Each structure stands twice: as structure tokens, then as C-alpha cells.
Structure 1
Amino acid sequence: MEKEREHLVYLARLAEQAERYDEMVEAMKKVAKLDVELTVEERNLVSVGYKNVIGARRASWRILSSIEQKEESKGNEQNVKRIKDYRQRVEDELAKICNDILSVIDNHLIPSSTSGESTVFYYKMKGDYYRYLAEFKSGEDRKDAADQSLKAYEAATMTATSELPPTHPIRLGLALNFSVFYYEILNSPERACHLAKQAFDEAIAELDSLNEDSYKDSTLIMQLLRDNLTLWTSDLPEEGGEQSKGDGVHAEKLRYCSSSVPPSYIPTGADYQECNNDIEEREPESIEHLLIETYRADIYKMCFNSVDEDVISSNNKAGFSFYWKAAEENVPNRLLKRGLRWMKRSILRVITMFFKAFKGCNNDKAPACL
């Protein structure tokens, strides 16, 4: 059995490198059916394989839905019917993939799990794939998928709270995706913001104890939590109207501008404008952070409602990851070498590439591109 397992894992690695994700999934599914506790690498191979397989279909579905909306607004009924038929084919593929991985999780991965970390990982995956079903289902089917997703996320959260530290990337990723579930599926921005902010604040409080091995992953997910909070807070009703924007908020803006550590305060575009006044006097890390944050926020505001952990996977090219695009273009390094003007031009070039690659978004009316 060990030789077979080693052979299948090696095939999965090869398939990943060749970007043949369907074959990667088939290999890792056979490993999962051996009913043994998977290693961290094997667990990640399962996740990455299915994430890429489902990601391509989710991207197709969002693009088709956006085109369908445009054709409906033009009154092109014949084209709308064609799109609906085509979209149904994509939905059938999505349902098949989701049901496939959910069966593997329930029948093999969770029963074979012995550690808190792997248990959280698999229940989080279960919540994610039921969430993907809820994205395109309707009526009772959507309600059932949403209920199952909620139960899985709650089970993962219960174990994560008792077994994993607040800075653990799996616990942070769970909070990120669970909050997206509340926002996108249950239409509850208040609950989504509360969950995301609580996870962010708890991680900030224990940032000093962060494991060096997971520092990059954890801080990246924390940035994504802040990105979502920046977007979602604009949907919440303001208490006290314009009167609430007084000296206290201004002091928070100044504190953000003068700090090299991201605070729990969620900055807005106006805050960034204030910070730009002294940008050239900042440390290099702060300049890079500020500009990347500003332009990434602009992208999300133009196109997305929220972003989940899928954007972190460098292999998930259908994941709409601005992080991935920026890294591929070596934007941070170039930013620091050239002046502020060149910095902005470089990031704008990446943004242009981004929108050329993914034309399906239609401003605020587009489905969230996860």
C-alpha cells in the first residue's frame, strides 16, 4: 500500500506541474480512499487539485451569468436562452465536482483524521464546497446547500477555537471563508464583518507569537480579511450620519498613516489619500504595502464583492488573484527600485492585464469573483 501511495502522490505532483488538474484530482482521490491520515503535503495536493478543477468552472459560470445579464438588459431573448442552456452545462459540471469531493471528505478524509488541524481543514473544505453549490443553486436546493455549509463551517470553527491559535493560517482561512459565506450566501454583512474583524483582531493580539514557517500565509490571509472588511463596511448603515466622521476617526486615520504595523482600523480610500501626502518619507515596506493595498482595494471595489482564501493559491489561475498577478510581474521589487510615478504605472499595467484576462465582471452588479 505504501508503494501505491507513493506512486499516486508522485503522479499528483507531476499533474500539478503540468497543470493537468483533473488527473491530479483522480490520483489524490485514490490516496484518500486508502483511508489513512494524509500528510500535510497530501492534504494540500487534494485541496489544490480540486480548487483548480472547480475554480475554472466557477469562473466560467460567473462570466456567463454576467453576459446573460447584459443580454437580458438588451432584450435579446434568443441569446439569453442560448446562454442559459450553456450555463446549465457548467452548473452540471460544478455540481458533479462538488458532490465528488464532498463524498470523499465525508467517507474518507474526516473519518481518517486524527489531529485538530486536519479536522478543521476538512470541515472547512466541506463548508467551502457546499458554499460553491449554494452560489448557483436556487430554491430548496440552495437552502439545503447553505444549511450544510453553515453546519460544516460551525464544526470547523468549534475545533479551530479549541485546537488552533488565532494566528494559525488554517484558522484564519476558515474565518475568511466563513465570513464570505455570511456575506455572499446569507446576505448578512453585519455578521460577516463581525466574524472577519474578530479573527483579525485576535490574530493581531498574538502576532508576536506567530510561527516563522506560517508567517507569510497568516499575514496574507489577515490582509484579505482587511480587504473584505474595507468593502463590506461600505454596505453597513452609518450611525449618526456625517456626525460620526469626527475627530476620533481622523485620529485613527493619522494613526494608520504613522504606523508600520497594520492596525485593526480598516482604512478607506480617503485615508490612503491623506497618507499619500507623506508617502515619500516612508520606509520601503510601508510604501510597498500602501500602494499595493490602495490599488488592490480599487480592483475589488470595481469588480468584486468579496474575496475568499482561493486567491492565495498560486496554482489557481482561475482564482482571480491579484496577489498572484502582482507576484508574477515582480511588482513589489520593481516598485521599490523606481520612483512613486513608476510604481503607480507598474501596478496599473498589472491591473490592465487582470481585466483583459477576466472580462466577466460588470462593476458592482457582477457576481463576486472568488
Structure 2
Amino acid sequence: MLHRLAPGEPLGLLALLGGGVLALGFCVAAAAGIGDFNIPLRTVFLAVTNNLDLTAAPLDRIEESVVWNLRLSRALVAALCGAGLAICGAILQSLLRNPLAEPFVLGVSAGASTGAVAVIVLGIGAGAVSLSFGAFAGAFAAFGFVALLSNGTVSGPNQTILAGVAASQLFNALTSYIVMTSANAQQARDVMFWLLGSFGGVRWPEFQLLLAVIALSLVVCIWYARTLDAFAFGDEEAASMGVSVGRVRIVLFGVTALMTATIVSMVGAIGFVGLVVPHVARFLVGPLHLRLLPACVVLGAVFMVTADIVSRVILPQQTLPIGVVTALVGVPFFSVLLYRARNRM
């Protein structure tokens, strides 16, 4: 039988989620105030309430515009990206029964990179095709390739992983070929920065689209939470419990591909978040997905917003690609987690 919540566990989960939401609110407020010139938290708060028509406080117009139009939207997009990547990681680690699975295991990131590079370097679409659309098209081309190789995503987890590896290698090779043969020096720098992730160009329209995609996907994943618990016992055992293994895989692989493609098309490839955050969430709340998925949302959002702040302050007058920061912050933490787990064995 599947593990059930103990009497005190719901309260502990609510306390964790409540503390995480408060931490996220503080991180978003800090992100909105930190930049080339710092803005006090009080001004950040009043700028937000002014634009929500809750107050009419007199503020410097430049500071208010920077908070509302630039930094706040960037911080909220970062939070949604962290939440989405963490959800994808948790889902894929369960479906594939592989603790190293993460959102880019299906080759979606590599495909998105190829689509974006084709727009940046080759100018495909002659201005009618945006960078985000090119990346999104490339991401789903890669997902379709994986689905074809793995027999419509209904095969076992090993075949799906191998298909994802093949897709990643193929599209990474195409990306390298395009850059090496057609890109000038400036284009090569732009491509490299995009491949490592950046929140520099996101605004409120990106937030609204991402919010809709992540919210809808989370509802679907929560709906299948107990089904995901059954996958821990293997495909045959899950089928014996009444789970339609093939249909569930198609739906959840499609949902994770949609989230990953949307995120990558907006901000580039950001690694490590979908790998480490689900493990941290399991360490805190256990493996049941009704608890795990909400914890991943909060922890992923806090992690990504914090990493974005670090990317802007670690070097004077420079912004590091967000993917560099997530790796620098996440690898040591993940190493400690693995070390502690090894000592318990």
C-alpha cells in the first residue's frame, strides 16, 4: 500500500509551505530593489501598491518604473521558471524511475537551442519569426523526435532516456554546426549567453503566458499525483493497480515538454534546478506527490529568484548567465545532500 500522511504531517507541510511563501515574497521584494542602483524595500512596496491602485504615494517616477516595469516582472518570471523546472524534474524522476532525470532529459533544451540559434544566426523567418517562437518550435521538434524513437512515449523508461540522449546529441550537433559555420563573433557571444540562460529581456507579457502554462500544468500534475506514487513500484505494478501506464506517460511527458519548452523559449536553458530541487523537496516532505509537487513549486521559485539576485551582484557592473549561478550554487549543496545520504546507507 502507498504511504499515507501521518496525523501531524499536514500541519508540518503547511508550515513549510507558509514559510516558503514568506521567503519567496522577501526574495522577490529584494530582487525588485537590487540592481545597478538599489531601491529601498519601502519604495518597492509602495511602487507595487501604487500600480495596483491600492495607494497613491508620491514616488520618484524613474524608481517606480524600474521596480514595476523591469525588476518585479523579472523576479516573478524567475520564480515561475524555478517552479516549473522543479515540477518537471519531480515528474520525470518519477516516470523514468531515475534520480538523475531532469527537465532536459527529453532533448527539449537542445531542440530549443537549435531553433533559437537558427533565428539568431541564420535569420530564419526574415524577422517574422521571433526568438521565442523559434526556440519553442525547436523544443517540440525534439520532443516529437523522442516520441518517435520511444514508440510514442509509451515504452519503458530506459528507452525514453536513450531516445532523449540521442535527440540531445543530434540537436546539439546542429547548434554547434550552425554557430561554427555561420555566426560572427557578436552572434556567437549572444548565442552563448542565451544558451546559459538570462532573464534580461522578460517583461509582464512573458509573466502572464508563463503563469497560465505553469498553473494549468500544475493542476494536471496534481490530478495525477496518486498515479505518480504508483510508478515508484514499476510499470507492471502500476498497471496492476489500475493505472493506464501508456496514457499517463503521454499526458505527463507532454505537460513537462510544454513547460520546459515555454521556459526555454523565454529565458534560455537553465540547468540543475530540475535536478536538485526535487531531491531537496523529497528530503523535507517525503516522496508522496501531493506533498512533493507543492514543495517543489515553492523551493524552486525561491531558489531561482535567489540565483537571479546573485547573478546581478556577484560581479560589479556585470550580470552572469543564470545557468552559471544555478550550477555554482546548486552543485555544492547537492554534493552535501549526496554525502549525507551516503552516510545513512
Could you state the TM-score of these two structures normalised by the residue count of structure 2? Answer: 0.30
Could you state the TM-score of these two structures normalised by the residue count of structure 1? Answer: 0.28
The one of the two structures with greater contact order (alpha-carbon pairs below 8 A, sep at least 6) is: 2
